[in-house]
Structure 1
Amino acid sequence: MQPPAPKTSDSEKITINLGPVDLGRIDLLVQEGFYANRSDFIRTAIRNQLGTEADAVTRSIERHTLELGLRDIGRAELEAAQAAGELLHVRVVGLARIASDVSADLARATIGSLTVLGALQASAEIKAALRDRIR
């Protein structure tokens, strides 16, 4: 039996810089009850902008042959690739997660390139082994 996957956050923390006028305008909207807090406003603004640009994002994903969402890379998949003599070229918009039971040697032997637009969850050993292949 495989151990349960570690709990992962469904969001990534980012930092932004805003001028005092924009920040004040956001605070005013929060104060007036339009948003629960600054983060709520910023998440809503980002989602709205991504919705506006949805067609461009979709075309870009198709053009660059990217996977959208969560991409789990497990030991069984990598062992199958190794047995077939294949290298994987993983391209993800979202979250790429390499299972904890994947060794650095197996990852290095089977992952030719790893492009992640979003977040990569992998052990420090895996990241070090793939450093020259992560884009």
Structure 2
Amino acid sequence: MPKISTSIPKPVPESEKLTINLGYVDLGRIDLLVAEGFYSNRSDFIRTAIRNRLDSHGEAITQVVARKMLVLGLQHLSRSDLEASRAAGERLQIRVLGLASIAEDVTPELALETIESITVLGALHASSAVRAALAGRIH
């Protein structure tokens, strides 16, 4: 099986933006902690709270990652990676917890020929044409 590249050729954002709705009392409590210097801002509080909850489920996450055979972190698929898979007659089942990215020079046709399925818990960066072509294979 061809080795899948894990290097990212262009800068990738280190975070994904989320929008959440909070009640006014919870928001006020966060603002109070920020004002008292416990956190630098609302985002710092929210990131810290999320990390603490994720850490409390660390063992369960580790077990699920192993059971579902997920790549943890970043997985980048270059055009040459996919061309090598096509030459070998292989179809890829991509499973990532983190960030999966498909190079901008990958055509929708090449993606369809080589990628059987994509499961991403996190974010998938790919051109809109590749995303549209793979829409039925993204879980």
Q: Normalising TM by the smaller chain, what interval?
A: over 0.9
Instruction: Please name the residue that 1:87 is paired with.
Output: 91
User: Which runs of structure 1 show a deviation greater than 4 angstroms over 4 or more consecutive aligned residues?
Assistant: none
Q: For structure 2, which runs of at least 5 residues remain unmatched after alignment?
A: 1-7
Q: Please, what TM-score do these two structures have when normalized by structure 1?
A: 0.94
Asked whether 1:26 is paired with 2:30, we answer yes
Q: For structure 1, which runs of at least 5 residues remain unmatched after alignment?
A: none
Instruction: Please name the residue that 1:126 is paired with.
Output: 130
Residue 7 of structure 1, CA deviation: 2.8
- Give me the identity figure in percent: 59
- Give secondary structure in 1 for the equivalent of 2:106: coil
Instruction: Please name the residue that 2:12 is paired with.
Output: 8
Comparing 5-14 and 22-31, the one that deviates more: 5-14
After superposition, what is the alpha-carbon deviation per residue over 1:29-50, rounded to whole angstroms, capped at 9, x for unaligned?
Answer: 0000000100000000011111
Instruction: Please name the residue that 2:113 is paired with.
Output: 109
- Superposed, which structure 2 residues align to 1:48-63 within 5 Å? 48-63=52-67
Q: Distance in 2 between matches of 1:8 and 1:71?
A: 12
Q: In angstroms, what is the RMSD of aligned CA positions?
A: 1.2
- Give secondary structure in 2 for the equivalent of 1:48: helix
User: May I ask how many residue pairs the two structures share in their alignment?
Assistant: 132
Amino acid corresponding to residue 27 of structure 2 in structure 1: L
Q: Please, what TM-score do these two structures have when normalized by structure 2?
A: 0.91
Instruction: Please name the residue that 2:4 is paired with.
Output: none
Instruction: Please name the residue that 2:41 is paired with.
Output: 37
